Structure 1
Amino acid sequence: MTRCSAAHPDDPTACGGPVAVTVLDAKGAGVSGCEHHAARLLASLDGGRVYPLPDAPAGAALRVFTAADALRPFCWDTTTPRTRPEQLSRAEARAARDA
């Protein structure tokens, strides 16, 4: 089974659709992937950005950005306790700060 380039080797999930976006890290290095794996990758990066590919479905980058906000970094790792702010999703970290 071939997966998109955005899929982490330790992430067991299948791709969620065609390759539609490119995720860039803080230094500008990028990889293209499906919306599912791109969101999981973006959630695991500090300072990451997402851009739609020219033939992407409308709203693909926005869906990835929104999904990444709710995902914890390296969300496929279910054995690590999540107690520090950097281990939470961005949405969880915001909620904790605002509480």
Structure 2
Amino acid sequence: MVVSMPPAGRRCPAAHPEDPTPCVGSVVVTVLDRVNAGADGCEHHGARLLASLAGGRVYALPHAAPGTAIRVFTAAAGIRPFCWLDGPRVEPSQLSEIENRARHGR
């Protein structure tokens, strides 16, 4: 099993340049958008990226522990898109999936 860690002082490819948070763990998922463009990342940045995409998908890399993609998918549901940006969030596109479901009684 090969575990890929970002080089010292660098972050995984899924980390947005404006997101100040460090990687948590090794690179274990691939996150794809609607047109299959994607990035590999740690669980933390994979979830943050997935939360910021409309119609995104997540896949565990072959060396990832069982349940990794499910953990990232579940975490993303509670994260607001582009969560590192400040300011009021009132539009559905600015809220997490969980917040939108609660607003609409789903």
- The TM-score with structure 2 as length reference comes to 0.90
Structure 2 gaps, min length 5: 1-8
CA distance in 1, matches of 2:13, 2:27: 9
Q: 1:82 aligns with which of 81, 89, 97?
A: 89
Residue of structure 1 in register with 2:42 after alignment: 34
RMSD between aligned residues: 0.9
Stretches (4+) displaced over 3 A: none
Paired residue for 1:72?
80
The structure richer in helix per residue is 1
User: How far apart, CA to CA, are the structure 1 residues paired with 2:74 and 2:105?
Assistant: 19
Structure 1 residues without counterparts, runs of 5 or longer: none
C-alpha displacement of 1:80: 2.1
| CA displacement, residues 43-79 of structure 1 (integer Å, 9 cap, x when unaligned) | 00000000000001111100000000000000111x2
Mapped to 1, the partners of 2:36 and 2:23 lie a distance apart of 24
Kindly report which structure 2 residues correspond to 1:12-27, keeping only aligned pairs within 5 A, or say none.
12-27=20-35
